[in-house]
Structures are given as structure tokens and as C-alpha cells.
Structure 1
Amino acid sequence: MPRNKSIILLSVGHACVDVYQGAVAALIPFFVAERAYTYAAASGVVLAASVLSSVAQPFFGALTDRHPIPWLLPVSTVLGGLGVALSGITGSYSLTLLFVALSGVGVAAYHPESARIARLASKGSHSSMGWFSLGGNVGFAMAPLLVTVVIATGGLRFSPLLILPALVGSALTLPVLRALERTPRPDGGKGAALGKDDWGSFVRLSLAVVCRSIAFVGLSTFIAFHAREQMDGGTAAGTAALFVLYLGGAVGTVVGSKLAHRWDRVTVVSMSYLTTVAAVAGVVFVPGPAIYLFVALTSIGLYVPFSLQVTLAQDYLPTRVGTASGITLGLMVSVGGLTSPLIGSIADATSLRTALTPLILMPALSWLLFRTLPEPTVPKPLLGGLDEDTTHGTGRTPTEHSRL
């Protein structure tokens, strides 16, 4: 199977999985409306999906470093969809938490192995990895629309219909896995690279990702409520804000991969975080329709680093690609949920704007952490697979990369 076809299938499959990360936040307004959840109770649902995902994702990453498990892709995709599909059919808060936690485990199992396979299929191309990440961002963006169409039609009892993307995504992974089986690698398919692990840089990168996650997950959990307050609107105003937040992520991922061809990844990520500080402030404090502009700018700024941080993590830990992918993706998409109950409690006690104000500091902290990071060298086995768009704009040939 041609590399581009594999990446396209992986990207669409990634979209089908990340629908369920976006779906949890998109379901929150409906849980509040039908079940009268408080802000704190609603954020507890996000926490349930985040806790197990945050813990399990690094575990699955370390596991795939030891033993590649390609069958995790179709199985975890179905598991992620099943949890969300079941979350709306019970009025029990405890069972709701259990089902979204099940979905979180499915999402956690998917990402490290899929990132490893995408790295093999892309042969180190930043553009190909960017397309893979873009799929997840599109899935995020489609989640509010999908949830709104399904749940607004028949209420939470229609949530079983939300499993359909999981079934499609699971089927799409099968041709890629068959192609990998027909192309055996001398390293056993692990994609191991020669080099020395730079744990110090990886830890600083991970801390920056934590700050980014707190900002993004905090906004995704409460932006629908905040937009409705600022616009004096109903559910549509909130759904539109969530859609813009997720759609901007798709734009940011493409922009990030393009900028990485002109400048090094650390510089691109660092400047993106710095400019995002003002955008988050605009979301929190600017009233009226302008909030949608600042939501879009915030999303783009937070997602320019997305795929670049994954490849940076992999290059900082070239002998532990699965671990690097698992930790980085786990922190980016789930650890922020750990702070959501705190934000919800502050909002219940004061106001939503007061609760969201500390999020302005998060991209600033990420910028400070990135300022001291080095640009890692390219792992040797990937050099042969570097295509023109991997080295474009750097002024270096693959041979020159190997001497860095």
C-alpha cells in the first residue's frame, strides 16, 4: 500500500476516534439540561474520561515499545465509541462516569500504537504526521455537530447512535494493518531508532504540554456555557463556540506542519504559545460576537504545536517512541480534565469568567518552558525516509541532518 494511502486511512481513522474525545465535552450541556447537573458535577464527567486516559496512555505507550500491538487500533476504536454511546442511556451519575471512563480507556489504548504506526508509514515526514494529527482535529471539530444532531433529535436516549463513527474507523484500520504485515521490517516493526534519550528535554516538553492541556480542556469543557452567557443565546451559541474551538485545531495543525518546514519546531511552538496568551485573554474578557474570533485564534495557537510536540517527544526519546507518544498525546488530550472540577467549583462559587481567567497563564508557562528546549537531531533510521517537505526550509540535506 502506498505511504500516502496509509496515512489517509490512518488520518480518517484518527478522526473517528477523536470524535469521542470531543463528544464528552459536547454532551455536557445536554447532561446539564436533562439531568440538572451543576458545573462541578458536569466537569466530573470530563474528569472521569480524563483520569483513566491520562494514566493508561503512557502505560500503553510503554507496552507498545516492548511489543507492537497493531490489533489495538480497531479494538480501541470500538471501545472509545461504545463508552460514549452508552453514557446517555442511564440516568445514574455513577454509570455515566463509568461509561465515559471506558471511552477514555479506548482512546488511551489507540493513540500510542497509532502514532507508532503513523511514524512508520510516514518515514519521519512532518507533513505526513501533520495529516495524521489533522484527522484527530477534524474528529474533535465534528463532535459538537454530531452530538447536537443526534441528541437534539431524540434526547440522550439516542446516544447509542454515536457508536457509528467507531465502527467506520475500526474498519478503516484493517487495510493499513494488512499492508504492514506484508512489509516486514528488520527491527520487527518497532521502528526503533539509534540515539540517546534526552529525558531532561522530554520532561520540560511534557510540562509545557500539561499547561497547554489545562487551557484547552478547560475551555472545551466550559466554552459552550461561556459563549451562551456572552451572547445571551441558547444551545446553538454554545455549540457554535465549541465547533469553532475544535475546527480551529484542524487549521492550527496544518499551519504548524507548514511552518516547521521554514523554521525549526521548537521556535514554531514557542512563538505559537506566546501569541496564544492574548487570544485566551480575548476569549475570557471580550464580550459579544467577537468571542468567536478569539476562540478561533486560541484554537489555532494551541494546535500549531500539536503534531510538532509529538515528533519532538519521539526525537527526544528515540529508543522509546511508544512511551514518548503515549505520554505526550495523553497529556495533550486528557490531563487537563483533572483540573476541570476545580474550574467548575470556582464557577459555581463565583462566576464562569472568574474561573476561566487563570487559563490565560497556561500558554505563557508553556512558552517559558519551550524557550530553553533544544531542537533534537533526526533519528538515523528515519533519515532515509525524509522527503523533500521534511527538510524544506531548513537549508539542510538529509546528510547534513545526520551531522547535527
Structure 2
Amino acid sequence: METSLDKNALAGVSSSPAAPPLAAMPQHTVYSVLGAISFSHLINDMIQSLVLAIYPMLKANFSLSFGQIGLITLTYQITASLLQPLIGSYTDKHPKPYSLPIGMGFTLAGLLLMSVAPNFGILLVAAALVGCGSSVFHPESSRVARMASGGQHGLAQSLFQVGGNAGSSLGPLLAALIIIPHGQRSIAWVSSAALVAIVVLTQIGRWYKRHPATKKARAAHAGHASLSRNQVRLAMGVLVLLVFSKYFYLASINSYFTFYLIDKFHLPVQAAQVHLFIFLAAVAAGTIIGGPIGDRIGRKYVIWVSILGVAPFTMLLPYANLFWTSMLTVVIGVVLASAFSAILVYAQELIPGKVGMIAGLFFGFAFGLGGIGAAVLGQLADATSIGYVYKVCSFLPLIGILTVFLPDVEGRRAKA
């Protein structure tokens, strides 16, 4: 097991002219690279959530309307979501080992511009730059995680994604401790984190450049010629619907759980936030668990349990007392969060040779759904009640029954 970014892992091309090609090298899990890419994911998603957390400050500083705040979000989401599959598709055909530090450079530029932005128009440009950085990072870093997995694709994706989960939870905390007390200019201080990430990602880029032949190795080991084009299309459609059910339900918790607890149980804000933190910790645990279990028992089984299996708990939640609400959200967080690694790796094996495009498609789709879900559910809560939102969302996991239409990809591969 590798424990540091030593020269064998990240130092680049060996000086020995007799170094064997990657395809001939024995596969092993490069934990140093997985740790580095997970750390970079933490910084990337910390910055993304930080931008959302400073909206109240920007609204006050620039006298923005809620419509203008929404336009900032739209600009950010368009660049962060819609560009991801396009970038992933391009880099599948034309690998760019140093695209990761370049992408983080866009994020750095966006932060610095946001710290000195004199008007709303410049804020939009800054938000677009931060979104572009995220759109480059996710498909390419997911590819690196798969390259470093040594065949443990679920484990690698789980380790990668848990870094993002941790970063998302740190962003609002960073905003509260640093940005809000010190004002807009202090956004530039966060750029030091982006600089650290650029250094780490440059080292990863050297390792990536040293191991370009994994594309051919991946195509050779993941072929599923027995599946027809219509079967692949059906399976991808089912996966998209499963991601929809997962992220729309998560949007109801992430955005409105504190309001739900305050409204139903009359909790103070601080106590409600503790319950939300417990849920986020459960999500992080589920993210780590789902990938390795999928490697062992098969990803389709994990998808079954994590989407459809969580339905009884979500349907009980709107009728539970405070104690059982807390218990149920822990179970829901762990079980539901285990799905994404399994879905992503399943899709990558369904369409071999398109690792970047698939990662970009699903990360972008998931990110976009989170924003859309929050907006739609907010409108529903205004029109009805926050309790009604949770009753409606409790049925979303039943979409998991569509898993029955997924072909047994791993079984087919074993027979090939």
C-alpha cells in the first residue's frame, strides 16, 4: 500500500528507458493518488459551497434582488453542470493530464475576481469562472480515481466522493468564520486553498501522464458486446431516473430539514443544525460504505437496496416523533448515499471507454438536480407546508423499482 505521494506514484516518467508500459504493469490500488484526489475534491467542493454561503453578504453589499441572486446561481450552475459531460467526452478522446490544475486555475481566478468585483456583472463573470473550474474537475478527477483504483472501482469512487462531501460541509463554516466577519475582500484569502490544490493536482497530472495506457486497458476489460444499443439506452434512462429520485430527496433534506424540525418540533436553530450535521455525517459514512460493498457483491444489488430499500424509512419519516426522526434520518443518509458510487461505476462499465463523459454527465446532472430540486420544493412549501413537502418526497425512492430493468452487467462480464 502506498502512503505518500512518493516519486513512484506521482513523480512522473521514470528515467529508465526500459520502464515497462502501463498495460503490462500489475494493477494495484494507488492509495496515495486516491488520497490526493479526494483532498483536491474537498477543496473544490468547499469553494463551491462557500460561494453559495456568502449570498446574504453579496445581496447586502450590492443591493441585489432575489432574482439577481437566482441569476448568479443559474450562471454558476450552467457552467458547472452543463459543461461537465462535454468536457468529459472531449478528454475521453483527447486525454489532458494537466487539465486538473488548469481547471482549478479557473476557480482561483473566479475567487480573486469575486473578492474585488465592483458590480453585479463582474460577480456573474466570477461565478461563471468558479463553475468552469468545477466542470473540468469532476469528470477528470473521476477518471483519475478509476485509473488509481487497481480494479476496486467502487472503493475508489467512494473515497473520491467522500472528499467532496466533507468539503461541502466545510464551505458554510468557512464563510461564517472568515468571509462574513471580514467582508468581500477576504474571499481572496480562500484562494490559498485553491493554490494548494493546484500544486497537488499538478503532481497528479504527472502521474496521469505517466499512465495514459489505462484507456486501452479499460476498454479491453470492460466490454459488453452482448448488450444491444436499446438495452444500453434503457439502462442509462433508468440510471438517470434513479439519480433524479436520490437528489430530489436529498434536496429536501439539505435545504429544508432545519425548517422542518423548527416547524414541527419547535427546535431552536442551533439544535436543528445539529440534526442536519448528523444527517450529513451519515451521508459521508454511506458514501464510503457503498463503493466497497458494490465491489464485493455487485453494484446492481447496492442500487436496489440504496434506492428502493430506503423507501420504508422515508415514508415513515413525516409521521415520526423527534427521536425517531433523528434515527430515521441517519438510516436514510447512510443507505441513500451509498447509491451514487454504485450508479456511476455501473454506468462506466455499461459504456466502456467513456469514463469522463459518464462522470461529467452524472456529476453535472446530480448537481443541477440539487439546485432545481431546492427551487421546486421551495415553491411547493410556500404553496402548501414544509410537512407536505416531506410527505410528497417520501415516495420518491419508490422509483427504485425501475432497477429491475437494469441488465446484469457484472454477470455478463464474468461470462465474457
TM-score range, shorter chain: 0.7 to 0.9
1:112 to 100, 116, 139: 139
Match of 1:153 in 2: 181
Aligned counterparts of 1:277 and 1:108: Cα–Cα separation in 2:
32
Matched, 1:71 2:98: yes
Query: Is the 1:230–1:287 Cα contact (8 Å) retained in structure 2?
Result: no
Equivalent AA in structure 2 for residue 117 of structure 1? V
Distance 1:292 1:104, change over 3 A: farther
Map 1:358-397; keep pairs closer than 5 Å.
358-365=392-399, 367-377=400-410
Measured after TM superposition, the shift of residue 327 of structure 1 is: 0.9
1:138 to 135, 145, 166: 166
Distance 1:186 1:300, change over 3 A: closer
Q: Which moved more, 1:162-171 or 1:283-292?
A: 283-292
Query: Is the 1:212–1:302 Cα contact (8 Å) retained in structure 2?
Result: yes
Q: CA RMSD in A?
A: 3.5
TM-score, length-scaled by structure 2: 0.77
Query: Is the 1:51–1:338 Cα contact (8 Å) retained in structure 2?
Result: no
Matched, 1:403 2:409: no
Query: Is the 1:39–1:344 Cα contact (8 Å) retained in structure 2?
Result: no
Aligned counterparts of 1:22 and 1:322: Cα–Cα separation in 2:
23
Aligned counterparts of 2:296 and 2:109: Cα–Cα separation in 1:
42
Map 1:97-246; keep pairs closer than 5 Å.
98-125=125-152, 126-154=154-182, 158-185=186-213, 191-193=218-220, 195=223, 196=225, 198-230=232-264, 232=266, 236-237=270-271, 239-246=273-280
CA deviations over 1:149-197 (Å, ceiling 9, x no partner): 224533555333333332222221122221233345285x795446247
Aligned counterparts of 2:261 and 2:112: Cα–Cα separation in 1:
26
Query: Is the 2:303–2:339 Cα contact (8 Å) retained in structure 1?
Result: yes
Matched, 1:50 2:77: yes
Aligned counterparts of 1:363 and 1:35: Cα–Cα separation in 2:
41
Match of 1:6 in 2: 33
CA deviations over 1:280-316 (Å, ceiling 9, x no partner): 4566565647654444333322210121111111001
Runs of 5+ in structure 2 lacking a partner? 1-7, 10-29
Aligned counterparts of 2:398 and 2:208: Cα–Cα separation in 1:
41
Distance 1:228 1:162, change over 3 A: farther
Number of equivalences: 381
Map 1:194-343; keep pairs closer than 5 Å.
195=223, 196=225, 198-230=232-264, 232=266, 236-237=270-271, 239-281=273-315, 286=320, 288=322, 291-343=325-377
Aligned counterparts of 2:346 and 2:401: Cα–Cα separation in 1:
17
Query: Is the 2:110–2:130 Cα contact (8 Å) retained in structure 1?
Result: yes
Query: Is the 2:97–2:209 Cα contact (8 Å) retained in structure 1?
Result: no
SS of equivalent residue, structure 2 residue 410:
coil
Runs of 5+ in structure 1 lacking a partner? 379-399
Query: Is the 1:224–1:239 Cα contact (8 Å) retained in structure 2?
Result: yes
Aligned counterparts of 1:25 and 1:164: Cα–Cα separation in 2:
19
Aligned counterparts of 2:347 and 2:368: Cα–Cα separation in 1:
17
Distance 1:271 1:92, change over 3 A: farther
TM-score, length-scaled by structure 1: 0.79
Measured after TM superposition, the shift of residue 59 of structure 1 is: 0.7
Equivalent AA in structure 1 for residue 40 of structure 2? G
Measured after TM superposition, the shift of residue 122 of structure 1 is: 1.3
Map 1:86-97; keep pairs closer than 5 Å.
96=123
Identity of aligned residues (%): 25
Aligned counterparts of 2:260 and 2:63: Cα–Cα separation in 1:
17
Query: Is the 1:87–1:96 Cα contact (8 Å) retained in structure 2?
Result: yes
Query: Is the 2:101–2:197 Cα contact (8 Å) retained in structure 1?
Result: yes
Aligned counterparts of 1:363 and 1:372: Cα–Cα separation in 2:
16
Aligned counterparts of 1:217 and 1:7: Cα–Cα separation in 2:
28
Match of 1:351 in 2: 385
Aligned counterparts of 2:181 and 2:271: Cα–Cα separation in 1:
17
Measured after TM superposition, the shift of residue 20 of structure 1 is: 3.1
Measured after TM superposition, the shift of residue 223 of structure 1 is: 3.4
Aligned counterparts of 1:89 and 1:353: Cα–Cα separation in 2:
41
Query: Is the 1:279–1:294 Cα contact (8 Å) retained in structure 2?
Result: yes
Query: Is the 2:43–2:167 Cα contact (8 Å) retained in structure 1?
Result: yes
Measured after TM superposition, the shift of residue 224 of structure 1 is: 4.3
Aligned counterparts of 1:299 and 1:92: Cα–Cα separation in 2:
40
Equivalent AA in structure 2 for residue 369 of structure 1? L
Query: Is the 2:218–2:352 Cα contact (8 Å) retained in structure 1?
Result: no
2:49 to 18, 22, 28: 22
Equivalent AA in structure 1 for residue 100 of structure 2? L
Measured after TM superposition, the shift of residue 121 of structure 1 is: 1.6
Equivalent AA in structure 1 for residue 288 of structure 2? V
Distance 1:68 1:224, change over 3 A: farther
Measured after TM superposition, the shift of residue 246 of structure 1 is: 3.2
Measured after TM superposition, the shift of residue 239 of structure 1 is: 4.5
Aligned counterparts of 1:291 and 1:48: Cα–Cα separation in 2:
36
Match of 2:22 in 1: none
Query: Is the 1:227–1:291 Cα contact (8 Å) retained in structure 2?
Result: no
